[in-house]
Amino acid sequence: MAAPGKRVLCFDLDDTLWSVEEGIKKAEAELVRGLAKQHPEHASHFVDAEKLKAVKATVYERETDLLERCDYGEVRRRVMMHGLLLGGMCQEAIDAAIGDIMERWFYLRSSCCAKFPHADEVLAQLSLEYEMVAVTNGNARLDHAGIADYFHHHITPMHEGMKPKPCRSMFLKALDLTGTSPEHVVMIGDDKEKDIAPAIDLGMKAVLVDVLGGKACPTVPESVRTITCLSALPTVIKEYYSSQPRL
């Protein structure tokens, strides 16, 4: 049974709270610098941009199932292992090193994504009044991104039984974890197809975040508010709920 009066905000992360492309580039560059220092004799396929591109292409081509499931962490692990193997590192040494390499990657992947203006203060403000759930296809870690204290739950396709957005499974999981019903939930995301459409179909409200530009389009339902700065979010959320009495 849904909890009476509970109000929930579901957040996408990548390109909603930060620019993921820019962050990934910075993280990858930092990881490569570390590999070049720690394993200089085996890092040739990472230091050379063309070789790294070829390594990725090989792994992406044979790991389509992982990509479809948005298991980006495992794809990254296999890219790193394949590159080290091509660089002459033996499998035993790779197996011994890959755990630390991936821990470093997950830290960099999350911490190198610079949050959009006002993200921290908006999340802090909203978390005082609403139950917050991260619903993301990405593999950012909330603690490394510095936002773990704002969220009650974190749902990704890697959780048992989950499928990537736009599949409904993660949205339904959010409802289950919070014990609420769709009409008391607002989904905040940057992707019309993956974030907005499935939320609306379930009966949730939604906010389209267009900080990077180019997300707004005529096909977005009139009921969906579009914001270009996160500072506008608290007001939009309040307006959504102002006409909805607590049960």
Percent helix / strand / coil, the chain, rounded to 5: 55, 10, 35
- Residue closest to 177 by CA, chosen among 207, 194, 156, 191: 156
Q: What integer pLDDT is reported at residue 213 of this predicted model?
A: 85
Could you tell me the sign of the dihedral formed by the alpha carbons of 178, 211, 28, 107, in that order?
Answer: negative
pLDDT tens digits, residue range 35-59? 999 999 999 999 999 999 999 999 9
pLDDT tier for residue 10 given thresholds of 50, 70 and 90 = very high
Distance (Å, whole) CA 242 – CA 113 = 33
pTM surpassing 0.75?
yes
pLDDT tier for residue 216 given thresholds of 50, 70 and 90 = low
On whether the CB atoms of residues 14 and 139 are closer than 8 A, the answer is no
pLDDT surpassing 90 at residue 125: yes
8-state DSSP, 184: G
Rounded mean pLDDT of 121-146?
96
**What's the mean pLDDT when you consider all of the chain?**
93
Q: Which two tokens stand for residue 120?
A: 């921290």
pLDDT surpassing 90 at residue 63: yes
pLDDT tier for residue 218 given thresholds of 50, 70 and 90 = low
pLDDT surpassing 50 at residue 166: yes
Percent of the chain past pLDDT 70, that is, above it, reads 94
Distance between the two ends of the chain, CA-based, in angstroms?
13
pLDDT surpassing 60 at residue 3: no
pLDDT surpassing 90 at residue 123: yes
Q: What integer pLDDT is reported at residue 1 of this predicted model?
A: 38
Rounded mean pLDDT of 127-132?
97
- Residue closest to 95 by CA, chosen among 73, 80, 107: 80
